[in-house]
Structures are given as C-alpha cells and as structure tokens.
Amino acid sequence: MIPAMAVLIVLLFVALFRSFLANNIPLYAVLEGKTRFPVLEKIGTDWGILSPKAELNQTEHWQQADKAVWPPVRYTSSETDRLNDRFQKPHALRNDVPAGSPHYLGTDGLGHDVAAILIHGTGYSFFIGVFSMGLASLLGILLGALAGFWGDSRYKKNLPSLLWTGVGIFALWFYGVQIHVHSLSEGMQAGGIAFLKPLFFMLISISGLLIFFHFTGKWINRIPPKKKIAVGVDFIISRLIETMTVIPKLILILAFAALAKPSLWLPTLIIGLTSWPAVARFTRAEMLHVRSMDYMTAAETFGISNFRLFFVHALPNSLGPVPSLIAFGIAGAILAESTLSFLGIGIPPEIFTWGKLLAQGRSNPDAWWVTVLPGLMIFITISCFHRLGEYAQSDNRQKRRFIEYFR
C-alpha cells in the first residue's frame, strides 16, 4: 500500500506542476533589467486572469535573457522539433549530437518530445479521472441513496404536489441546465475562467431553483385533495440504472463524442455520465441496509423530519463502499481516456495524451519508446489506484497498521 501511495503522490505532483517541469519558456528570467516569471504569466494568461502577451509564446525571445532558469524538459507536449522528427531515439541512445535541447526520452513521428507528453499527459489523465469520477459519484450517490431511502411506497404526495414536482423538474432542466449549455460549450473550448464562470452560474441557478421548489412544495402539499399517491422512486431509478448498465459503455461514449466538438471536458463529461450506475447500485444496497436498522426506526418514532433523517442519519452511514468505488473508478476513467485518445475520439488535436502517443506505435513498431513508456505509465497509474481501492475495502486492522507506520 505504501509504495502505491508514494507513486500516486509523485504522479500527483507531476500533474499539478507539469508546466514547471516541461515548458519552452523559462521559470525565471531577467530581460532588459526586468525580473519575469514567464511560466506563471503563461498560466495566468491561459486561465484568463492576465492579459495575453505575444512573447509568452516565443522561445527565441527568452533565449536573449541575461539570466534564465529553464524547466528540466525544455519542450511543451504540442511543440514540434523539425530537426528531430520521425521517431528519434532517446538522447542517451543516440550516436549523433541532436540540435537544440536534448530529447531525454526521444521524439514521436512529428517531433514532439516524449518526456513532455508523458509529463503533461499525467495532468490530463488525473484531471479526467478525478473530475469524471467526481461527477459519477455525485450522481450515483444521490440517485442510489434516494432509491434506497424512499423505496416504492414511502414517498407519497397529493396530486397538486406531484404536478408541482413535474414543473420543478422541467424548470431545473430548462432554466438550470439548458440555457447554460451554449455558454458552457464555448467555455469548454476556451478553458479556465471562461468555463468556470458559466459553470458557477449554472450551479447557482440549480441551487436557487431547488430551494424555491422545496419551500413552495411544502405549501402546495396542503392543497386538497388530501389523498396521497405513492411514487415508485426505487422502481424508476432502478430501471434507469438497468438501462444504463445494459447499453454498452463504449457505444454511449461514441454517441456522445459524435454529438459534440472535441475538448478536454468532453471525455470528462462522457466518462462521468456513463460511470455512475455502479456507484448508484452499491449506494442503494447500503441504504437499504441502513434504512432497516433499529436506530432509523427509533429516529422516525421521535418525529425527525425525512430531510434530516436522510442527510444526517442515513446518507453518511451509506457511504461505506464509495471510497473504494471511487478509487477503482478513477483507474477505469484513466483507462477509458487512454482508449478514447488511442482511437482519436473526443480529445482535441493540439492535446497530446498517453493514449495518443501509444497510438503512434502502430505506424512504427521499431519506435519502442512511444509504446513502452506511455503503456508503462498507464499500467503503473491504474495498478496504484487499484491497490488504493483494495486498501479502502480492507479491514480496519490494516488501516491502523498503515497509520501507525507514519507515527
């Protein structure tokens, strides 16, 4: 467990600081008497915090600096080196002296630095894996917990309240999601603040609508007729889970990818929206177990509201299997992203990932470094997340030994 955690920490460090490890502009430079931090400025520009500057994309401009501290790898993942293209070997294995900065792990067919692709690919893999499983976990926990808590006969509403619930669902879809789709799509292409801003407004809209319909629903529930109708929450959600499970995941991914423009967020959303059924099934089963326990019956006897019963007592005790599912899910998401990149689906052409690098080995089997190195990175990352998932499923005795190791 400890070696797997150490490897994941190193990979997380590489993912977070990839721009400082592989870049074609310096970390620190003194140019014309001014102290500059080009990498930090470039990050601020990409996120829309700082205004764009032309020199941040010009390597030659910074080579004239009086002082400069360069990253360990002096290339970006999308930069081409025409003097070292057509699958050049790693620097240590070459007989000739390459022009320009060395390519420590060689180049691909177009002259992209393999080391830079592996470093930046770590960031893309972690980003897609964590965010996609965050979305899948949110949907799976919510739907699975609702199905297990309410069942088929526990949730009862009168006719006006049911109609108002239908209006609320339509309002959430139209005003909470649909009107933000265009701005979110444009933000996906730009990235950074351009995406986070419409996402923030969408979440605010959804939250406001949920609060509004929650409180108005209490008032409408008092309107006659008083006879209440049971809603089969468990039946509806279970059929939805079964439908998503029966349809092949790859077919869904290909269908979603064909309807939207390639972007880094596209595979994240696709994998997240197709991975939640597993989380929902386990959460539902755990909620059914918790719902039948004596302390839940006692809480109902004391007149505790369903809202408090669900969020305070039932839901926290139903999340036992979720951490291990998230760990396994992140591994699956990274593998799915690598598969999509290998097939050339969903990822923009200017973004190079482990899967894209691995796909180039088909055209030149002799270039072992473009297949072995990304394949090894995928294998190590997935294996470490699987080990983390197994640890999350282990008993408390192993966890205590792991904690005592660091004391």
Tokens 């979603």 map to which residue?
256
Q: What are the extents of the domains in the chain?
A: 24-70
Half-sphere exposure of 49 (CA within 13 A, CB side): 8
Report CA Rg, the chain: 26
Residue 372 CB neighbours (<10 A) = 12
Taking the chain, what is the end-to-end CA distance rounded to the nearest angstrom?
16
Q: Give, in order, the Cα–Cα distances in Å from 236 to each of 148, 243, 277.
A: 12, 11, 13
Q: Which of 155, 158, 205, 161 is nearest to 180 (CA)?
A: 205
pLDDT at 405: 45
Instruction: Extract the tokens encoding 36.
Output: 């500059």
d(CA 148, CA 347): 37
DSSP H stretches of helix in 63-113? none
For the chain, what's the residue count?
A: 407
d(CA 127, CA 146): 28
Tokens 């998401």 map to which residue?
333
In three-state secondary structure terms, 107 is strand
User: b vs e for 164-190, b when ≥16 Cβ sit within 10 Å of the residue's Cβ?
Assistant: beeebeeebeeebeeebeebbbebbee
pLDDT at 395: 56
Q: Are 160 and 302 in contact (CB under 8 A)?
A: no
Tokens 């509004």 map to which residue?
212
Q: Are 85 and 111 in contact (CB under 8 A)?
A: yes
Q: Give, in order, the Cα–Cα distances in Å from 29 to each of 44, 75, 226.
A: 17, 17, 75
Q: Give, in order, the Cα–Cα distances in Å from 161 to each of 124, 142, 153, 229.
A: 45, 21, 16, 10
Per residue of the chain (407 residues), what is the pLDDT tens digit? 678 888 999 999 999 999 999 999 999 999 888 899 999 988 888 777 778 787 788 888 888 888 999 999 999 998 888 888 888 889 888 888 777 788 999 999 889 999 999 999 999 999 888 889 988 999 999 999 999 988 877 777 788 888 888 898 889 888 888 887 778 767 766 666 777 788 888 889 988 998 898 888 878 877 777 777 778 888 999 999 988 888 777 777 777 777 777 777 778 888 888 889 989 998 999 998 888 888 888 888 887 877 788 888 888 888 877 888 888 889 988 888 888 888 877 788 888 889 989 988 888 888 999 999 999 999 999 999 988 888 877 754 555 554 444 44
Strands 28-31 and 67-69: antiparallel
Instruction: Extract the tokens encoding 343.
Output: 């097939």
User: b vs e for 343-353, b when ≥16 Cβ sit within 10 Å of the residue's Cβ?
Assistant: bebbbeeebbb
**Which run of H or of E encompasses 29?**
strand 28-31
Q: Are 140 and 279 in contact (CB under 8 A)?
A: yes
CA of residue 181 relative to chain centroid, distance: 19
pLDDT at 403: 47
Q: Give, in order, the Cα–Cα distances in Å from 143 to each of 151, 176, 236, 257.
A: 12, 18, 10, 25
Instruction: Extract the tokens encoding 90.
Output: 């790693």
List the beta bridge partners of residue 68.
Answer: 29
